[in-house]
Structure 1
């Protein structure tokens, strides 16, 4: 019988300053339920950090659409201050953060500098995965098929020119932030009018937010989790399939509010496609140098699976793909979380 591990030294860190902080709250709600002995720390949108009462986290409703707000003054003014506090010493951090500094390597570097254990990929791999253009280049170098893309730079006119050129070659495009996730900030470009609107709106966000445009591939949308184990082995989880209603997109509302989408786990695709997608996800995980667990998004076109992006801290909400895929292979969430925590401690100990 497998012995249940303790999570008494665990701090679930969630919230954050990114536009994905609400998804992070939903992930923390699920993880905290499975790890009832863990502490829970909330990072507010202003960057301050404070312990969160479990009852407050559990009682928060409509996490995807409503910000969590804790009363009173934050315990620490910043994450750095929180990590330097005595309460953090010797703890293992379960990162339930998504997007922004929680996923781009910034938080990971802060933890690494202090020799603190944390789940997920290290700072270098996190930075690689968060930059979609860099991740695509690394995946392509490892032999994975990718699609043509271009970073949108300059003013609205220059961006429109780039979009028009790509549109002429491919007929349909997807425009998205280079650094980000959760389908926030997506534009689907099907013609000149869409290109003009996307160019104007993207230019208005520059240079704070960088965008890329890539060729749209018609096909089956799949997403595949990859999980590392303490024995050094790595496995791909069962593929999930996303079916989108006509006229809809797999954007934030589709992914988290269930509007116009259907998720199937395991995916209903031929075995050879299923296995090819799993192999692609493992290759991407390794090409980026990821650790712990990731989830890679794939489109299966006429020529087979095509790499889109890799999420280095994918969602762990009750509705997220990783929990769906673990359930499909017969793995409960608690043992998965325990092994991720054990991997975090082992990496910390190796680096001492």
Structure 2
């Protein structure tokens, strides 16, 4: 048994992603633990700090890793919050694993390294298959999003046909309509940051969920290749989200409905402006107009991030634009204001002429 005094005598197992990733030979990430046969009172006596909301989850007093009591769940309402959890000491490890989403996420490992795999998840890891654990999968619509996100992360895994059909049944039953914006955005953003974001869109479209949870993204699969190239270039989330929304005329509505962070919304709004401006920036006046429209003089870093996103779609002379931004920002507006003796109209015109002169000189 483990010599960790906090868990000495407890029946504990590493579960979920840490076990799956170890089987795939991937770097070790955060470990989640399940405790079988214990009570919240016993965990508190051992120094564990309770942090769970709907069900008992505790932080280890030293490592701060999460330890959850083994639990089962019963559908009690609609959507992903419509569950009643039971964490009695009689809940077995197998009971806990059966309520998980995919077989590859329903594998446990003892502290000594022995696998506990009642649902044959290790075989699905070897076969590269994403398969639902059981019919209870249909009770939580978030699992459709998670399935799509895992497909984007593990690009060499296929979705089991019966799992995809179950997702279609869930969409037809209206379960996807119960998803709340925060959960949609959480899974969407994580999928966009995966290695193959196109597979997330593919699974969502095949299940019918895409048009239900993000109807503003009609034709989103047309940008799938763009998103995969963005992933290959390690673009940050705002640039990837802007590319996702590039062909949508409803990007503002999508941002409001999913409560998308302001930085991502700004990139989505400005990328079409940038693309149009790049196509017509043949002279100093049009280049200055583009810099002003994208607020590049006040937020140059964001402008260069937008250029990186634009470069996914075609060649962009970023060094030239860096010189232009530097030149225009080098105009001393304060000195011009003093020379114009506070005449606002003259100041504005003089600053503009100085900036145009700098651009023309380049």
- TM-score, normalization by structure 1: 0.25
More strand by proportion, 1 or 2? 1
Larger radius of gyration: 2
Higher relative contact order (CA 8 A, sep 6+): 1
- TM-score, normalization by structure 2: 0.24
